[in-house]
Amino acid sequence: MNQQWKEQLEKHRNNRKEEILTAAQQLFLEKGLGVVKLNDIVKQCGISKVTFYKYYKSIDEVIFAVQMKILEEFIEKDKNWMTKGKNGWEKMEYVLRIQIETLKTDKASISFIGLFDMHYRDHYPTPELENAFLDLLKKGRAHFKNILLEGIQDGSIRNDIELRTLQFTISNITSATIQRMALRGKILKYDQGIDPDLILEQMVNMILTYIKPMK
């Protein structure tokens, strides 16, 4: 097998994997992660189960592949924080507002993350998937941690809260609120009579006010 043939084969394989992921993600968003079965995915893709298993071992592996692809894209976007703002506080403002903007431009991805968190709320299906996923999360968390650390060191972010506690408090608040708005924003606007955009703006302002140094 010559090199050109190997490259074409690899390209074909990657394209097919991407097709399966795209089709599966669409189904997951329409029906929910616990409802979609393997038959649904292969039918949507127009492939056989035999072909499916050439690329993925299970539906769980597909779900994790979609989730990790989304997170990798978000992590890549977050790298821009290094050139934004004069200090850690301003960089944190940039990151928070980018997350809000992502909800507006890529609601489907945020919704999928919310469905993923609910589906795997108690445990992960295999140690292999768990380890791969947690390794990716550590990579993403490093950017967030570095922003807070920079702010603490340059004096723009308060230093009286343990760094890890502050990091995960902010990340959990923002993730939960953004995911809720992605999944139920229209209903919440009807029930509560408040525009979700206003709630998100208030959330950002509250966090930014809270992390400023105490006078």
At 192, the pLDDT band (50, 70, 90 cuts) reads: confident
Domain shared by 33 and 104, yes or no: no
Find the mean pLDDT for residues 84-92: 91
Find the mean pLDDT for residues 34-50: 91
Q: What pLDDT was estimated at residue 138?
A: 87
In a domain, 81, yes or no: yes
In a domain, 215, yes or no: no
More confidently predicted of 214 and 120: 120
Is a pLDDT exceeding 80 seen at residue 4?
no
Is a pLDDT exceeding 70 seen at residue 132?
yes
**Could you list the residue range(s) of the whole structural domain that residue 40 is in?**
1-56
200: which residues sit within 8 A by CB, 6+ positions away? 100, 103, 177, 178, 181
Domain shared by 38 and 115, yes or no: no
Q: What is the token pair recorded at 40?
A: 């649904």
Domain shared by 160 and 76, yes or no: yes
Which of residues 41, 56, 71 is at a domain's end? Answer: 56
In a domain, 19, yes or no: yes
Domain shared by 64 and 29, yes or no: no
Judge whether 195 and 180 are in contact, CB under 8 Å.
Answer: no
Q: What pLDDT was estimated at residue 5?
A: 66
Domain shared by 115 and 137, yes or no: yes
Domain shared by 164 and 75, yes or no: yes
d(CA 151, CA 133): 28
C-alpha torsion sign, points 192, 98, 171, 138: positive
Domain shared by 82 and 183, yes or no: yes
Is a pLDDT exceeding 90 seen at residue 209?
yes
In CATH, what number is assigned to the domain containing residue 50?
Answer: 1.10.10.60
Q: What is the mean pLDDT of the chain?
A: 89
